[in-house]
Amino acid sequence: MTLTGALLIGQNTVTRPETFQALNAATGETLDTAFSCATADDVRTACTLADEAFDTFRATTPEARAQFLDCIADEIEALGPTLLDRAHAETGLPLPRLTGERGRTMGQLRMFARELRAGRCLDARIDEALPDRKPMARADLRQIRIGVGPVAVFGASNFPLAFSVAGSDTASAFAAGCPVVVKAHPAHPGTSELVGRAIQSAVQKCGLPEGTFSLVGGPDYALGAELVKHPAIMAVGYTGSRAGGLALSQIAAARPVPVPVYAEMSSINPVYLLPEALKNSAESLGTAFIASLTMGAGQFCTNPGLILALSGPDLERFCQSAQEALKTAPAPTMLTQSIHASYDAGVEKLAGRRGVSLLGRGPKGDASSCQAAVFTTDAASFMQDPIMQHEIFGSCSLIVACPDLDTLLALTRSLEGQLTGTLHLEDGDIAVAQTLMPVLERKVGRILANAWPTGVEVCAAMVHGGPFPATTDPRSTSVGTAAIERFLRPVCYQDLPDALLPAGLRSTNPLGLPRQTDK
């Protein structure tokens, strides 16, 4: 497939005189193809088409939407190496990583297709009439969940496939019966166009209204603001910086009709090295920590940015092991020059905080590479300085030494909300872990044992969310089958004739949905 640089507005391709070009992440050189910058009118057109498509799209059967999701996955697969090569050039991510991410992207599309076929996500409930109940009869009450309306999705920088144009936000919105308008990330417009054309093709092949999907792009932040402001948009999916997520949330809240923004923003993912585990495995834990920290240049929202342990010789052995592993740690290319600059600025800022010491730096690499950095501090300094809790997007982490378990618990209570919390423990640490668990459950969306937080399995039980500032809504997840719940709302039907009920609530249950029934 040849890139054109066009916007994808419904089934139309639109070009504009104002253009921009992507950069090769590794070399900084300008890549081929000039990409059109969308105008405010383009955004309005895309949103209007989405609004016009909504009633038709949400009325499709779960099977029809499942076939649509499967078709998108097939169309992405058919792009072959063209997609991977372009994503590699625009992001600097290695081809094996991108191959895996493409598989994850197709896998989550097909996962939502299976969820639709199972019918559980629609949560059909029936309380049949009780006309003879005393002292008051009960009406016939039936409930099902329907799509909220058109959804705006913002492509993420660090996952050009799995959290971008056809990523989890888009897949779950489509599964809910919601048209999607995607704002492509300006760092990988070619990757976005290729995937966008795959979705556009699937819309046509499945006979869906053209407004089911549109793709707009451009480097201007005002474009995203226009998208969130549009009255047709009923929810927003976003993965990115805290500043960006908060800005979109403020715009959405200030609308005449406010809408939810499901923003995944900032997390340093505390890792607890409990006493027995640290005593018996300090060296191996130190090596594994650096491997997790430097994976993918640390450009994961679940990167282990904070290590917590009790002071003493065991923690010193861990630090020595980590320091040694840093000497040969990889220095991969970062996604963009601006992300690289922000990383360097964050490392410099942390190095200047009172009470912070440098444990070590990894190899420097070339100008666009991520030089890993690990710092140490004490619990008192950490709790007195909120800056130490700020996420540094890249391979940077802070090791905090606590004098005792009470301090460790107090520090945990002082933490901001996180995506993950990890416990490295052995049988002798269970009592300590039991004291931490109630606090961690209030602070994080996923608790791990004896693992590292990098890597998010796409499955029914996964939660990729957490209390603020990890996300703007701690009740939600952006990964796993429960992600669809963000874009559904319940509707109750009281005493309606069968012919007026949604198919899933009719007496004959033609869709074969699982239903909760109380007679």
d(CA 418, CA 391): 11
E strands present in 151-290 = 151-154, 180-183, 213-216, 235-239, 261-264, 270-273
Point out which residues pair with 151 in neighbouring strands.
180, 235
163 phi and psi angles, rounded to 5 deg: -125, 35
Point out which residues pair with 8 in neighbouring strands.
13, 215
| Active site (annotated) includes residue 301 | yes
CB count in 10 Å sphere of residue 2:
6
First to last CA, the chain: 56
Which position among 101, 193, 226, 264 bears the catalytic label? Answer: 264
> Cα 18 vs. chain centroid, distance in angstroms?
30
> Cα 385 vs. chain centroid, distance in angstroms?
28
3-state secondary structure of 336: coil
Which position among 37, 47, 178, 301 bears the catalytic label? Answer: 301
d(CA 349, CA 354): 11
d(CA 121, CA 504): 12
Tokens at 188, concatenated: 């990988």
Tokens at 283, concatenated: 């060296």
Backbone CA torsion sign across 483, 489, 495, 496: negative
From the list 183, 179, 195, the residue with the least C-alpha distance to 102 is 195
CB burial class (10 A; 0-12, 13-18, 19+) of residue 225? middle
d(CA 418, CA 415): 8
Query: What DSSP string runs through 238-277?
Result: EES-HHHHHHHHHHHHHSSS---EEEE-----EEEE-HHH
Decide if 251 contacts 475 (C-beta within 8 A).
Answer: no
From the list 326, 295, 296, 321, the residue with the least C-alpha distance to 309 is 321
E strands present in 3-79 = 7-9, 12-14, 19-20, 35-36
Q: Which residues are catalytic?
A: 264, 301
